[in-house]
């Protein structure tokens, strides 16, 4: 008889691992959906009383407000396929939109484009930004922990 443990396999739901997913935004909901498709139970923990994270629309006094500047845009075909799998074609609305940031009297492309941002900042601020970036690359801070 050997003391080595025998490999185990998942036989029934009682032995299936339960995964905790933190957040019910698009990433958390997608993770839980993928776990479900692979037979893995998950529990979603969400601090808010609504799903969607900052990628949702809230209503107040008949007005609609996007909580964050997020859209479902991807160049990854698997992600595109997933959204079409979840949403029926009649519910999958395509809306042409243009996002910009208005800062100090000028519009900046969003997502940011370096040439547009540097041009809008003006020569002095643009040079300071480029120098700051170069300095951070040459001499990165010792403690790069960011929370």
Question: Are 34 and 63 within one domain?
Answer: yes
Point out which residues pair with 42 in neighbouring strands. 19
Of 8, 5, 45, residue with least CA distance to 28: 45
- What whole-number distance in Å separates Cα of residue 30 and Cα of residue 85? 12
**pLDDT(6) > 70:** no
State the pLDDT confidence band at 54, using cuts at 50, 70 and 90: confident
Q: What was the pLDDT predicted at 114? A: 94
Whether residues 79 and 133 share a domain: the answer is: no
More confident residue, 112 or 16: 112
Alpha carbons 130 and 79: distance in angstroms, whole number: 34
106-140 pLDDT, tens digit each: 999 988 999 999 999 999 999 999 999 999 999 98
The alpha carbon of residue 97 and the mean position of all alpha carbons in its chain are separated, in whole angstroms, by 19
Task: Clarify whether residues 89 and 112 are in a common domain.
Answer: no
- Shared domain for 80 and 107, answered yes or no, is no
Task: Kindly state whether residues 86 and 134 are assigned to the same domain.
Answer: no
Closest CA to 11 of 35, 53, 48, 39: 39
pLDDT for res 4: 45
- Look at residue 12 in the predicted model and tell me its pLDDT: 54
> Does residue 3 form part of some domain?
no
Say if residue 52 is in the same domain as residue 102: no
**57-76 confidence digits (pLDDT tens):** 888 999 988 887 666 677 78
User: Among 51, 45, 57, 135, which Cα is nearest to 95's?
Assistant: 57
- pLDDT score of 19: 94
Question: 48 and 117: one domain?
Answer: no
Task: Note the pTM of the prediction, 2 decimals.
Answer: 0.54
Instruction: List the domain range (segments joined by +) for residue 45.
Output: 9-94
pLDDT, residue 1, reads 43
């Amino acid at each position: 008889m050997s003391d080595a443990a025998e490999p185990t396999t998942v036989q029934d739901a009682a032995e299936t691992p339960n995964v905790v997913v933190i957040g019910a935004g698009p990433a958390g909901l997608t993770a839980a959906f993928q776990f479900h498709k692979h037979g893995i139970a998950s529990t979603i923990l969400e601090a808010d009383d609504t799903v969607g994270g900052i990628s949702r629309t809230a209503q107040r006094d008949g007005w609609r407000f996007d909580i964050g500047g997020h859209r479902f845009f991807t160049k990854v075909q698997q992600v595109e396929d997933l959204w079409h799998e979840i949403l029926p074609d009649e519910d999958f609305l395509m809306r042409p939109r243009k996002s910009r940031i208005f800062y100090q009297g000028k519009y900046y492309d969003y997502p940011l484009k370096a040439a547009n941002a540097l041009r809008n900042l003006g020569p002095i601020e643009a040079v300071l930004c480029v120098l700051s970036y170069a300095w951070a690359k040459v001499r990165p801070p010792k403690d790069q922990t960011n929370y």
